[in-house]
Amino acid sequence: MAAYILRRFVSTIAVMAMVGIFVFLLLRLAPGDPAAMIAGKSATAEMIAGIREKMGLNDPMPVQFIRWVRDMLGGDFGTSIFAGRPVLQLISQRLEPTISLSILTMIVSVTIGVSFGILAAWRAGGLVDRILTAFATLGFSVPVFVVGFFLIYLFAITAHWLPVQGYKPIDHGFGPWLVHLILPTVTLSIPYIAFIARITRASMLEVLSEDYMRTAAAKGASSYSMLFHHALKNAGVPILTVIGLSFAGLIGGVVITETVFNIPGVGRLVVDAINNRDYPIIQGVLILVSGLYVLINLAVDLSYTLVDPRIRY
C-alpha cells in the first residue's frame, strides 16, 4: 500500500508538471495582453509597451518559463500582475468560500443522492421510482444558473427568507455562514444529487438481482438489513467512484454558482484573472486544482479497500 501511495504521489507531480507546461504555453499563445488591461481602455500603444517592458512580459518565452519554473520549485507561485500580491496569498483568501460550498454540496448531494438511489432501486418500477427518476433527469438537465435565479426569486426576493448573494466567513458566526450558503448549496447540489441517485439506483439494482440477495431474503433478512448491510456495501465501489469524481469536478466547477451568488471563491478569482490575462493567478490556480484532482482520485482509490476487502494495492 505504501509503495502504491508513493507511486501515485510521484505521478501527481508529473501530472502537475504537464499541466504547468500546457497552461503556460496556452496562456502565452492565447490573444490578450495584461499590460493593455492595466493601462486602461484608451491607453496608447506606447504606454502599453512601457508596461510590458517593465513587467518582463517582453522577455522571450523560454526565459519567462524558466523563471516561472525556478520560482515554482522554490515554492513561489509568483505575484499577481494586477494586485501585486503573492498568488498563494490571493488563492488562500478565496479558498474558504469554495471549500465551504464544495463540502456542503457534497454532504447534501451524497446524503440525498444515495438515499434517493436506494429508495428508487428498492421500489424499482413503482411510482416512487418513476418520480425520483424524473427528478434525476430534470435535475441533471436544467442549467445551474436557471435553478439559481429561480431560487433567488423565490426565497430571497419574494419570501425574504435568505440573502440573494454574498458570503460570510465562518468566523463571523455559524448562522450567517450557513444562511449565505443555503441557496448556493441547493443550486449546486441538484445536478449532483441527480447524478449520484442515478448511479446508486443502477448499482443497487444490479446487486439486488444477485443470488445472494435472494438467499438473504429466503433466510428472513429484514429489508433494512438487505438494503444497507448486503446490497449497499456491494454496490459501493461505483458509488464511491462517482462521489469522488463529483467532488473533484466540483472544485473546478463552482464557477457558475459562485458567479450567480457572488461568492468570492477561487472560481471567481480565476475568471477575473482570465479576463485580465493575469497569468500567474491562472497558472497557480490550475496547478493547485490539478494537484487536488489527482489527490482526490487517489483518496477514492484507497477508499475502495474500505468497502471491498478483496481490493489490495
Partner 1 sequence: MTISRRNLIKMGVAAGTAVSIPSILRAQTSPTDARTVRMAMGNALSVYDPIWTATNITADHGLAIYDTLFSLDSKFTSQPQMVEKWNVSEDTKTYTFELREGLSWHDGTPVTAADCVASIRRWGEVSSGGQLIMARANEISKKDDKTFTIVLKEPLGILIDVLADLTPPCLFIMREQDASRPATEQVTTNIGSGPFKFNEALTTPGASVTYDRNERYVPRKQPSDGLAGGKIVKVDRVIWEFIAEQQTALAALQAGEIDFFEQPSADLYPLIESDPNLELQVLNETGNHVCLRINSLQKPFNNVKARQAILHLVDQEAFMRVMDPRNGRPETSIFGEPISNDENTGWYKKGGDPEKAKQLFAEAGYAGEKVVILDPTDIPILDNPSQLLAATLRKIGVNAELAPSDWSAITTRRAKKVPVEEDGWSIFITSEADYSLSNPLGSPLLLANGDNAWYGWPKSDEYEALRAKWADVNTIEDRKALARQMQHIWWDFVGDVRLGKYLSPVARRKTLSGLIGVPVQLVPMWNMQKA
Q: Where along the sequence are the contacts to partner 1 (CB under 8 A)?
A: 30-33, 36-48, 50-51, 54, 80, 82-85, 90, 93-94, 149, 152-153, 156-157, 159-166, 175-176, 179-180, 259-262, 264, 268-269, 271-272, 275-278
Which residues are CB-contacts of 51 (< 8 A; sequence separation ≥ 6)?
A: 35, 38, 39, 57
Cβ atoms within 10 A of the Cβ of 310, count? 6
Residue 130 beta carbon to partner 1: minimum distance, rounded to whole angstroms = 30
Shortest reach from residue 23's CB to partner 1, in Å: 17
Beta carbon nearer to partner 1, 191 or 267: 267
In the numeric block, the cell 497558472 is attached to 283
Residue (33 or 143) nearer to partner 1, CB: 33
Chain centroid to CA 263: 14
Nearer Cβ to partner 1 (41/312)? 41
Supply the minimum distance, in Å, between the C-beta of residue 268 and partner 1: 7
Residue placing its CB nearer to partner 1 in the complex, 54 or 67: 54
Minimum CB–partner distance for residue 95 and partner 1 (Å):
12
Q: Which is nearer to partner 1, 86 or 238 (CB)?
A: 86
Give which of 186, 294, 196 is closest to 240, Cα–Cα: 196
Could you count the other beta carbons within 10 Å of the beta carbon of residue 312? 9
Closest approach of partner 1 to the CB of residue 286, in Å: 17
How far is it, in rounded angstroms, from Cα 304 to Cα 300? Answer: 7
* Residue number with CB closer to partner 1 (92 or 137): 92
CB 255 within 8 A of CB 268: yes
45, 48, 53, 59: CA torsion to nearest 10? -80
In the complex, the smallest distance separating the C-beta of residue 259 from partner 1, rounded to whole angstroms, is 5
Q: How far is CA 196 from CA 106, 189, 208, 237, 240, in A?
A: 10, 10, 18, 12, 9
Euclidean distance between CA atoms 223 and 234, whole angstroms? 15
Of the pair 38, 227, the CB lying nearest partner 1 is at 38
CB of 108 to partner 1, least distance (A): 17
Grid coordinates given for 38: 492595466
